[in-house]
Amino acid sequence: MATHLNPYLSFRDDARQAMEFYRSVFGGELTMSTFAEFHVSDDPAEADKLMHANLSTPGGLILMGADTPNTQERAETSNISVSLSGEDEAELRRYWDGLSAGGTVTVPFAKAPWGDTFGMVTDKFGVDWMVNVVAPR
């Protein structure tokens, strides 16, 4: 079996909303398990927080995420961006449009100096994304 690298996003209290948003953007099957299901928190206020969520799309994308327990610190900034790239412009533009809804575009989705179509956006959950459509060579 091959080794895979999968983004695993960390949220404070809105992992459920974020992962449902990503399902609306990418499609696929979303599974979610709460802290209560795994018996990992004695705090009743955290019972419905997500211990683990997994989004798997028919095209092979896998995105994971979870809420951070109140007893743990969570960095509000990151040096990580999630990058999407490929040749299917219609698909990647659809992803761009979905991720941009309610987010902040930092680099508009347009022809880049290297010939590809590229853009950067911070989505409404604070996750940084790069989308690149590879130009025909």
Domain 8-67: homologous superfamily in CATH:
2,3-Dihydroxybiphenyl 1,2-Dioxygenase, domain 1 (3.10.180.10)
Q: Give the model's pLDDT for residue 126.
A: 93
Please name which of 135, 128, 86 lies closest in space to residue 105, comparing C-alpha atoms.
Answer: 128
pLDDT at 42 over 80: no
CATH 3.10.180.10 placement within the chain:
8-67
Q: Which residue has the higher pLDDT, 106 or 72?
A: 106
Mean pLDDT within 95-123: 97
The predicted-structure confidence for 48-81, as pLDDT tens digits, reads as follows 999 999 999 999 999 999 998 888 877 766 678 9
Q: Which CATH class is domain 82-133?
A: alpha beta
For residue range 118-134, list pLDDT tens digits in order: 999 999 999 999 999 99
How many angstroms separate the CA atoms of 131 and 82, rounded? 9
- Starting at the edge strand that comes first in sequence, how are the strands of the sheet with 82-86 ordered? 82-86, 128-133, 117-122, 104-111
pLDDT score of 4: 82
pLDDT confidence of residue 40: 77
> CA–CA distance from 106 to each of 31, 86, 118 (Å)?
31, 20, 11
Per-residue pLDDT reduced to its tens digit, 4-34 = 889 999 998 999 999 999 999 999 999 999 9
Task: Determine the pLDDT at residue 77.
Answer: 64
Residue 2 has pLDDT above 90, yes or no: no
Residue spans in the chain of domains classed CATH 3.30.720.110: 82-133
Q: What is the pTM of this model?
A: 0.91
